[in-house]
Structure formats: structure tokens, C-alpha cells
Structure 1
Amino acid sequence: MTAHCVSSLDVENWRENRLPDLSGKVFVITGGNSGIGFEAARMLGEAGADLILACRSPKHAKAAKTNLERTIESDIALVHLDLVDQSTIRACASTIRSMTDRIDGLINNAGIMRTPRTITADGFELQFATNHLGHFLLTSLLLDLVEAAAGRVVTVASIAHNRGQIAFDNLMLTSGYSPSKAYNQSKLANLLFSFELDRRLQLAHSPAIAIACHPGYAATNAQSTGPTGFWKLAYKPLNAILAQSQSLGAVSLVLAAAGAEAKRGAYYGPTGFLQMRGPVTDAPVAAHALAKDDWKRLWEASEELLGITFRVGA
């Protein structure tokens, strides 16, 4: 499969110790209570940033805040977010707007993987709804705050995008469903969304930018809470043999969100063994993810599914 890089990073092995002073900057992180989201929050907070963690579980969010406060002196706020419930997404955005008038980094990180076929109350396939549509809606509701800060929208994709296909005539996979097929589609959608968002921001002469990233293969609870059957069993030995730590998985998120070297429209991640681990720099993009017609088509399909018009440009 042909792959391409879409930017040129100034360093070949970026690490979080290159972060500038982030005092006074505000970062919103979905799923910031665990996994790579928590580690990204820690790194950004230790560099001085104020944090807003948007999480589905209030209990886990409170525990994460307590843990973060051990090493972070900046502000940490919590807000409830369920990415499959449009009313809570809108309420989350409203609450965030009451907390701040600017967002330096909106990190669309929360996600699920390889779940059994499930349809949400809105009639959406669960992985597509959680990983893509929920973040698409949240970003539409908060983009003006990112623009006010000349900030960044960061979307966490995956090396799984290489195997993904957007089934435009069957987005909810009502036929031919498999947990992996749905996951791969949702991760490809993350990447297409990021590329199209940055394209539209440029056309609108917006001060905001969009950047995508992937964490490689990081050992998180996503591998234990989502998959069932074969995959649930397989992830235990695979994690032990192949996975890198959550903190290493978070490095690409932090680069995309706040690294001075990061460039708009880019895609960053580990580039070592099968892109699962190793030095963080420009990550290869599958050739089929560069089809601009698909970027636009997915954007318009997402608007139609959600019943919204996503306007770009403050």
C-alpha cells in the first residue's frame, strides 16, 4: 500500500521535553481521565497549561483530577461528555463556553475500539458515532473558541486507517458488520475529518489549524473494555509483547497540540516497528486517505447525519 507524509517536521524524534511554557493556555481533552488522554493532560499540565477534561464517567474523571493535582499546579476542570448522546455533547460545549472564552487546543482523543455491533439511540453505529460523529459535532460547537486563541484542533486517528474504507452507501454497516471493519472506518474518518477541517480553515483564512496524530500501539484500557471474543483474548499477549506505554503513546498528541515544531494539516505518530512504537515524527498516510473528494463527501455526510451545518471561519 502506497503511503505518503503530508508535512515536514523539524525534528526526527520529538519528545515532550521540547514543549514551550504553556502558562495561561487552555486545552480541552476528550477522554482525558485515562490512557493516552490522561498522559497528554499530565504533560501539558506540567508545562503550565490549564486543562478541561471532558469525560463520560464523573467518578473516573474525579480520580484522574486527583492524580493530576499531584504534579500539576495549573487549573483542572471537569465536564461531562458522552459522545454518543448529542444532548450531552451540546451541554458539554455550553459548559466549556461558560468556563473560558478561548481554547488553545481541542484534543479529540476519546474513543472505543472493536466493539460488538451496537446502534445508538440516534440510530448510529457505535464506533462511528463515538470516534467520529461525536467529535465532529463537538468541534463544530467549539471551533470559534479555538479560532479566538489561534489554536489547534487535534484529532487522534490510528494506524488502523490504513485498512479502513468509508462505506458511504453503508456508513452504519447495517450489512457486513465486523468490529474491526467498523473501527478501521471510524479511524479513517478521523483522519479525513482533520484534513478537510484544515483545508476549510485555510480557505476561510482562519487563525486556527487542524492536525492529526496517532499513538502507535499503546497499552490502554481500550483493548480490554471494547473488544470481545478473539480480540479480547488476543490483546493480552499482544499488549505484553508489542505495546508501548501510555505515556509514550501520548507524545504525538502533545506534539500536535502544543509542539512549536508542529505544522498545520500534518499527521504525526511513532514511526518505528510497523508504526506501533518508536520515534515520533511525520507519520505515513495511506494513499486512499488523501482523496480530497472523500474528505468533502464525509464532511457533508456527517452534517446530514447530525442535522447541522458546520461553519468554519470566525
Structure 2
Amino acid sequence: MPPTAQTAPWDVRRPPRADGKNFLITGGNAGIGYFVAEQLAGTGATVVLGSRDSTKANAAMTSIRSRVPDARVRHLRLDLSDLSSIKSSADALELDGLDAVVCNAGVLLDQPQRQETEDGHELTFATNHLGHFLLVGCLAPLLAARAGRVVTTGSFVAKSASLDLADLQSARDYQPKRAYARSKLAQMLFGFELDRRLRAAGGTTLSVVNHPGGALDSLTPSRPPVHIRTTGQRLRGLPAGLALQGKEAGAWPAVRAVLDPSVRGGQLWGPRRLGLRGEPRAEVVQGQLADTALAARVWAASVDLTGVDPFEAVPGPAQREQ
């Protein structure tokens, strides 16, 4: 559905109720993921914070409950960098169905040295993309049980990134910020490719992609002890507020992608103003993000790197035509 076809009003401050629904947010203990969790908790849904750090998850739940007294929120231990642990984490959800998983967690390392996981994968690519690739596959039955949604949170910087399919894990030219942008591009391409495969298989699960625009800590309201913004930080961030926004607003596209009944699979949601700030809207999917051949090759590479095809029962368009 093109952006101009949106007709239903949407209030970012008052999203619709979602009582009885179950949502999992990866990285829901901090940053944009925290605000996605907080906003979804306010709808009456059960919100699960996927995080490897129980202390940070507990702090996030305490903060959410202080703002949403009747919040139904709990923690799931989830380490996306440890691919061998993901199935057991998914099994530990112990839910009869999942209405949405928000694939939000991501790492941007600040050390110049390339780091690898115990599985031998580059840490950024493993956490941001490969871990989510496996997780969504493990959750597929729970999502199908409720015609749920896979909501993949990418990044504005991914739009200008480029992938070297022969070196997806940056073994030759590692730079932390570039590795992050590449991992987010791979993740977004996965989200679009997943929706194509789901549609081809007649599935009821939707896959939607979103990005937060330009979301800065200095423009983000305090949520102690999760995030504390000093007066000095707030004042220094005021000029940037003309073009960018905080992480509370950065969560709006993901929240709308989870809740809005007008959302369609394969859409891209981002901030209204130049893709950097403002209320969420559907964007035109173009450039690399619209490259179906590239997305299919990233999918195949993900299967090769993990040694598992968690979606082998979900045929792609080429398989359907055979």
C-alpha cells in the first residue's frame, strides 16, 4: 500500500489497546527497544524483553512499571551472538502464540579491533543479523498461530551502505561503523525477503521493516536508571532537535508497525520528515532495499553461515513457480 493510501488516523501518544496480545522485543532493556517496550506495555499487551543481561532487563521493567503501573512485562534471557542458544531461548517463552516479534537489538562496537563470537562469526553481523535470522525461524510456529508480525528495525544509515557478498563479515576491511551499517542493511533485506517468501507460501505472518530516523540520546527523555539525561546534555542537544529526534520518538515506527491494522507486509516505516524525525509513515521501498536478487543472495548466505535454514518450509517465489 503506497503512503498516500493511508487513511486511518494514528496518534503516537495513544496507540490502540492490545489486551491479550504477546509481543517480544529484542534489546528491549535499553535505547529504542526500551521505548518500544514501554509504549507497547501501555496498550495492555504482555511484553517480553529479550536481553542477555538480567540486571539491565530488571531495571528496564522497573522503569516501565513506574510509568505503566499495570504493565505485563517479563524478561527472556536472549543472547543473539550465541547462535547455539537461540532455540532454547525461544522455547523458554512458553507462550501459545506470539503476535509480534520486534527485531530491534543491535550492537555498534567502539573498538577498532574486529571481534568474533565463539562460533567464529564477526560479532556485529552475528548479533544484528544472524541471531535474528535464527530467532525468527524458531518463532515461526508461534507467529503463525496468531497471524503475527515480524517487525525488523533497521537503520537510516543502512540505506547508504553497500554489501560485499564475498565478505559479509568484514574480514578484509573491518571498520566498526561500516560493519554496523552493513549488518543493518542485511537485516532489512532479510525482512523484505521474508515477507516475499511468506506471501509465496500463503502464510498469514507479516514481515514489516522500519527504521527510527536520527535518534539521539541527548534528545531522549530520562528513564532512570535506564537512561538519565542531564540538563547539559538536553541543552547541547537542542540545535540537533531541529533535524533529529530522541529515542522515544524513534520507537514510533516500530510501534505502529506492530499495532496498526492498516500495515501491510513488505512495507517500510520511518519518520515523516525526510526520514529523520516526526510521526511514522510508510516510505517507498527503493534502491538496494528493493533489490530482490540481492536479498535472496543475503538469505542464502545466511543459511550457509549458520548451517541452518530455519525457514526451509517457507518456499521462495522461484520454488513456487516450479
State the TM-score bracket (shorter-chain normalisation): 0.7 to 0.9
- SS for the counterpart of 2:204 is coil
Alpha-carbon contact 2:3-2:284 (below 8 Å) kept: no
Name the CA distance, whole Å, in 2 between partners of 1:147 and 1:264.
14
Instruction: Give 1:298's aligned amino acid.
Output: V
> Which of 184, 203, 207 is residue 210 of structure 1 equivalent to?
207
Correspondence for 1:42 among 30, 38, 58:
38
* 8 Å CA contact 1:6, 1:265 repeated in 2: no
Deviation at 1:198, TM superposition (A): 0.3
CA distance in 1, matches of 2:217, 2:81: 21
Residue 320 of structure 2: aligned partner? none
| Distance change (3 Å), C-alpha of 1:12 and 1:219 | farther
1-side partners of 2:161 and 2:22: how far apart?
33
Within 5 Å, give how 1:1-314 maps onto structure 2: 10=6, 14-17=10-13, 19-70=15-66, 71-96=68-93, 98=94, 100-115=95-110, 116=112, 117-220=114-217, 241-242=239-240, 243-272=244-273, 274-311=274-311, 312-313=313-314
2:64–2:71 CA contact under 8 A, matched in 1? no
What does residue 221 of structure 2 align with? none
Paired residue type of 1:103: L
Return 119-128 or 26-35, whichever deviates more.
Answer: 119-128
Show structure 2 runs of 5+ residues with no match: 219-232, 316-322
8 Å CA contact 1:269–1:283 kept in 2: the answer is yes
* Change in 2 beyond 3 A, CA 1:45/1:119: same
Cα shift at 1:87: 2.9
2:318 match: none
Alignment TM-score, normalising by the size of structure 1: 0.86
**1:130 offset after TM fit, Å?**
1.0
CA distance in 1, matches of 2:7, 2:298: 32
Change (3 A) 1:11 1:121: farther
Task: Say which is worse superposed, 183-192 or 24-33, in terms of deviation.
Answer: 183-192
**Structure 1 residues 95 and 177, CA gap change in structure 2 (3 angstroms):** same
Deviation track 1:159-208 (CA, whole Å, cap 9, x = no partner) reads 11222112110111111222222111111111100000000110111111
Q: Which has the higher contact order (CA 8 A, sep 6+)?
A: 1
Residues 249/292 of structure 1: CA separation in 2 closer, same or farther (3 Å cut): same
Contact 2:16-2:43 within 8 A present in 1 as well = yes
- Residue 229 (structure 2) aligns with: none
The 3-state SS of whatever aligns with 1:278 is: strand
Query: CA separation in 1, counterparts of 2:258 and 2:308?
Result: 26
C-alpha deviations, 1:40-77, integer Å up to 9, x for none? 11111111111111112100101111111221424212
> Contact (CA 8 Å) 2:267, 2:285: kept in 1 or not?
no
Deviation beyond 3 Å, 4+ runs, structure 1: 5-9, 11-15, 235-241
1:21 shift after superposition: 1.7
Q: Which runs of 5 or more residues in structure 1 are unaligned?
A: 222-234
Classify 1:15/1:130 alpha carbon distance in 2 versus 1 (closer, same or farther; 3 Å): farther
* Separation (CA, whole Å) in 1 of partners of 2:310 and 2:9: 35
User: What is the alpha-carbon root mean square deviation over aligned residues?
Assistant: 2.5
Q: Return the TM-score normalized by structure 2.
A: 0.84
Q: Provide the C-alpha distance between the structure 2 equivalents of 1:184 and 1:13, rounded to a whole number of angstroms.
A: 33
